[in-house]
Structure 1
């Protein structure tokens, strides 16, 4: 689930978020919120109630969570509302002592992110399971696994060293710490976290935004580093391809108006190739320079039409219809990008398995 918080108020989009299975995108702005179906390419729901700052769906269901932007007394940023889009009625509201900065859902859990804590609820009953104190987190950086079985995990910035991430068990009331990852040297404030659909991989980007890393929390030593570029940028979206796609893929969107696609090479293969490359590099370059060129470059870069804008992205598989082709072979993927300007782009990607990626713009819609 990829979500974008937008800074501008006035007349712009305030929040854009894909649902967990990338079938819909929710858009919040000064007039209310809208849900756009990615399968039918049309608006599926609209609620004109005033300024909404956050909106999140639960998969492709009738459950929607939203938080006001504070422009009206009834739409406080300190109140979360759960809404049924089928009956057009509010189900429940939760109030908090400070502004809600992030909302994350899966079929069992609701995580509400405040600046210094995360509150974890049982989604069905809204029973508070645990309050997790965090380091100052003014932008609400956090990620909850979209799956709830076999593991349900919550990742938040850790205190202490900048760039550290702490992973909690969100399945039980104890909320025990499963591990801590040293993800980046620069702070995660202004960064992004995202889980793969199985919860086995966690992607992270820091404030600097030049390097993206993928971690396997079950094996803390497993780290993949990817070079987005040498110029600092705000990484606004991270998204993995669905787990049937092999090798795994990660798309990275930034406020430079670009989307980068990376292939996550299996660890053993990555170690051997990295070691061989490092041996050659270190024989001719100083160690500090050799380390600087280690992160892997992207498979392809897509530059979005129009003026650069922050965006979020998703990758979905497309059945090609021919035996031996389609999602299992990674030959046909769809990249969907939603921007802070309220525009949705859909790209067809071919040749991913061979590493010779070609992208074709299939459609453009105003959200």
Structure 2
């Protein structure tokens, strides 16, 4: 989940600010012409800058591992080099150089994945050793890929074709191909995993239909129609932590939120009961369409995805007589509509979204490449129009050409050696990390992987800030 102004879905900036939420949406990172910045979300819907590198290096990609001190950075000056840092110490732990420009970096607690245009490199995040390389992938100039946040279901999704919406699922722990999804007829535009790693959301370049699949079962669970008025470029999909909601942003001023309601349990037929006409058991595709229709019915009329009116009436008609219409017509009319929507005060070229809880209240967060962060209230019960609560100005955008359009400098001898293995540069405790032993590097990585305590104003209601205390029973007083 990343973006920069006028750039592709991988998030590298082109005349804007690179912005990305961390894996649990408790903080966000931003890349600027002066370095990278880390921001924490506070319980009062505020934003606190907790770190600024101020290295003077134009940063085009940056990602933080949850709330740890580990940060992965790619600069415009060295677009083929990944730098792994301990931001609290302000030190560089290691770096790794590749044969081509880095388009995306994905992290979870088990793996670090680097995406190039025609290959993917999987590292063990504990020691940064490369474990596997997926070579000769279909051309992926936008660096589109998604790594599940869950370490126990560490699935990597990436395009299996540049022409149609085929998704390859790779198990990054056991290092083998898991399955292939035929998600869309046109090429892929966005991918997103749920926090548990069991569901994958997909969107195509047409931008009209969003689908959710169960992985690795390859069952289509939900299908949503973003709108019927126009095709758009979807830049981001994001699940809520609970998995109940899915947000989608595009190059329009409307952000849609869909509710992933489970399909109702069909009644158990009584012995001897007569099966109604057209009531034969349906396959996975039919049940998925029904569940999507139920998900969208509650929030009709939000944004461009009209769930009420004539479309809502037709959806009800489809549910009542699904067996009387052609399958293609029934599928289109039964697609779920938006449960809620937020109207941005600007029309961004791209926007990143996240759904999180702030002070136990659901919030929709929208970050743009022009440096704004919009905080919206999300009514989890009724949906509808989301109210804008706060607007934050993160950083001023900085104009520079896309880092992939630059001519990458040739590898020097030290970097060329690192293309086949780790190369280390910079100062760590006053020493050249190239002379660090494996145990020293592993120790630094372990320290960076440790979680950080919450920052900003404390919330007395939040157990993460103030864990519940056990009151010891009083001892009887002896006379």
User: Please, what TM-score do these two structures have when normalized by structure 2?
Assistant: 0.67
2:62 aligned partner? 55
1:366 aligned partner? 393
Deviation per residue, 1:25-44 (Å, 9 max, x gap):
11113232211211251211
Change (3 A) 1:61 1:164: same
1:210 aligned partner? 208
1:258 aligned partner? 254
Structure 1 Cα separation of the partners of residues 217 and 317 of structure 2: 23
* Displacement of 1:291: 3.3
1:187 aligned partner? 187
User: Please, what TM-score do these two structures have when normalized by structure 1?
Assistant: 0.86
Q: Which runs of 5+ in 2 are unaligned?
A: 266-286, 294-314, 395-479
Structure 1 Cα separation of the partners of residues 370 and 36 of structure 2: 15
Contact 2:236 2:248 in 1 (8 A): yes
Alignment of 1:303-342 (within 5 A): 303-320=343-360, 332-342=361-371
Contact 1:235 1:254 in 2 (8 A): yes
Change (3 A) 1:44 1:168: same
1:345 aligned partner? 374
Change (3 A) 1:366 1:276: closer
Which one has more relative contact order, counting CA pairs under 8 Å at least 6 apart? 2
Equivalences, count:
340
Give the alignment partner of residue 31 of structure 1, picking from 34, 48, 51.
34
1:21 aligned partner? 24
Structure 2 Cα separation of the partners of residues 29 and 319 of structure 1: 30
* Displacement of 1:257: 2.2
2:140 aligned partner? 137
Structure 2 Cα separation of the partners of residues 358 and 127 of structure 1: 47
Structure 1 Cα separation of the partners of residues 13 and 142 of structure 2: 20
Alignment of 1:241-320 (within 5 A): 241-243=240-242, 248-267=244-263, 271=288, 278=318, 280=320, 287-320=327-360
Contact 1:13 1:27 in 2 (8 A): no
Q: Which runs of 5+ in 1 are unaligned?
A: 70-74, 321-331
* Displacement of 1:337: 0.9
Change (3 A) 1:130 1:41: same
Structure 2 Cα separation of the partners of residues 137 and 281 of structure 1: 42
Q: Which has the higher helix share?
A: 2
* Displacement of 1:347: 1.1
Computing the radius of gyration from Cα coordinates, the structure with the larger value is 2
Q: Which has the higher strand share?
A: 1
